[in-house]
Structure 1
Amino acid sequence: PEELEEERRLAYVAFTRAKQRLVLSFAAIRRIFGQQRVGIPSRFLTELPGEDIEWIGARSSSASRPTAPLEPSRDPTDSYVDYSEGSDLSDLEGLRRGVQVRHPKFGVGEVTEVMQGSPPRVSVHFPGWGTRKIIASYLEPA
């Protein structure tokens, strides 16, 4: 809690140093030691006042503000997901239409369709991202 508040304070100081314009960015996907990793933007971006912010990027044509809650992380490597480990949802147990699931990039979404196969796939609607077809092992219970 104290460390999080210190991080928030430092982010605020950095943001307010801009004289006229502040541009923030992050790598949605990056390669580290030959492995592709999914990046997650700072948790503090969702705390910025919306009326003065223009969200742009490759995520969608509407370029809307991120809607998925970002969970605090003490370890920077927690921002990345190793898909080779799988998850609790790889066997489709508990997956059905209407169930809430979490994806490391898209956040929390609602299952709209479950497709058998190898690997099993799931259609999930994510607010701000639309409906995505995702391999079930990339998801975890919300």
Structure 2
Amino acid sequence: FRTLDDPRAIEEERRLCYVGITRAQEMLFLTHTRERRLWGGFREHCKPSLFLGELPKELIAGSARKTQAGKTAASPVPKNISASNSRLSQQGKNLQLMDWKAGDRVLHPAFGLGEITHVLGAGDKVNLAINFSGLGRKIIDPRSAKLQRLD
């Protein structure tokens, strides 16, 4: 369950993600599904937690693999949590948000004027939730989008 409308809900999702990770004693396997089936046969596209991108790359090992259906899927990612618990906690505290903040007004070359409603992630793993006039909310990666901050 995700909501971008409530910053407390975002922080709760982040907290639950890290609680789950730090509960592992020796090895942790992180996987996710591309879609799930709902009651009535409906299918829902699933995305991995935004906060997995905040994990330090040097603590992650693994690779993508193809499923039987031919779609790319993540293979189990082993991680020695007990040896890296303190390092992960410290790095999580040290991650700095980029200079984007909620309330900033921006100009996107395709979507036009917008206002940042949420900054998701930290450090170099930031995504922005931006409300664009007439288009609604979009999640934008500021590293790849040519956003211009307006005063």
Q: Shared fold (TM-score greater than 0.5)?
A: no
TM-score (norm. length: structure 1): 0.38
